[in-house]
Structure 1
Amino acid sequence: AVDKKIIEEETIKPTGQKGLPDKKMPSFFVEEKMISEKNIDTNMDDIDLMQTQKTTPSEEESNPFFDPNANNNLNRNNDTKFIASEKLNDIYFAFDQYNIDDSAKKILLKNAEWLKLNPLLKIKLAGHCDERGTNNYNIALGERRALYVKKQLAFLGISENRLLPISFGEEKPTCWESEEKCWSKNRRVQFLMISD
């Protein structure tokens, strides 16, 4: 049996966040096979999230997560209802990060076990950010958070067909005060059951 741990190796890449020093961005290794963001199968026409499309010399050029087509490619079916589950806990993130710490990994493992026990349910993975940063940056970061959680759940045995990643960026906070205690509650991926 293969020990299914989520292992992270850091590589240096700029964050694109104005006013912040370069941060280390993780690449993910699972079962000794590298899973880079370039080979995430998202059914989004092979969007390469690590590359920036040149548009104007503004925020987009300084943002490695920016993809002007990302919002058009996310499935936003308005006829679908989403129901929060009391059995699935949100995954929380550090500022300007899309990887998770050990406590969040434990929550992710528990959520995966619950999803295995309920194989007919489909889940929307809603990526969220705090209010800092531009709207475009936060939409892209929220999307990377949702895609990261989707890929890790798939590795843990959950069918990717059951998982719908989407980003709300900073648009749907759970807390509205401008302080770290509040911001940390908004940096999350929320698990919502899809009900037709």
Structure 2
Amino acid sequence: MTRWLGVALLPRADHLRAAIRIQRALGTDHGLQPPLAPDGNLPHVTVFQGPFAESLVPEQDLERIGTALSLPAELHLGFTGIHYQPTGWVFLGLTRPPVLDTLQETTLAVLTPHLDRSAFDTTKDTSQYTEAERTSYARYGYRYTGAAYAPHITLGRTGEQAARTIVDTASTRTEVAQDWVFDRMSCYVMGENGAHARVLAERPLNVP
């Protein structure tokens, strides 16, 4: 049976709450979905997500990823802006230090053998993807790997015009911290629009 799962970075508790507040401030009038919550759809930075076979063991494979790297106890990512992504997405953009590339490469090495490639949507409209995003999608079934990797917290999805309006007015509706701190990794069940719907496994970035 195919399972739609992901691996993500989770924000420190105060920044998790901040992301929820930002979504509410921006999306109240524009229907950003799904709603972020501390006990539901968690704010997160996806490292990789997609369809997996039963051979993936969340706790075991997340541990393999974590122990293959030397990560700090906290990972600091800079804010790059609230921006629109086709089609209808609103992202809180974050910087991409080399450690994130290493983390994604390691994650792909561990998880790729478990990908259920038969579940890739080959009919998906990728006309608004960049060339790098199309290459990533064809190879891994996920838009943001390799050259196309774009670290972000998804604030939600809505109609095209509403998403553009949110981005255009974001600076007048909310304040965003310039530094975002992450202290955990998770393996999660994908929900609506790829949301972090349920934690299957979790570990600190740096295990003493």
What TM-score results when the alignment is normalised by the length of structure 1? 0.27
Structure number with the higher strand fraction is 2
What TM-score results when the alignment is normalised by the length of structure 2? 0.26
Structure number with the higher helix fraction is 2
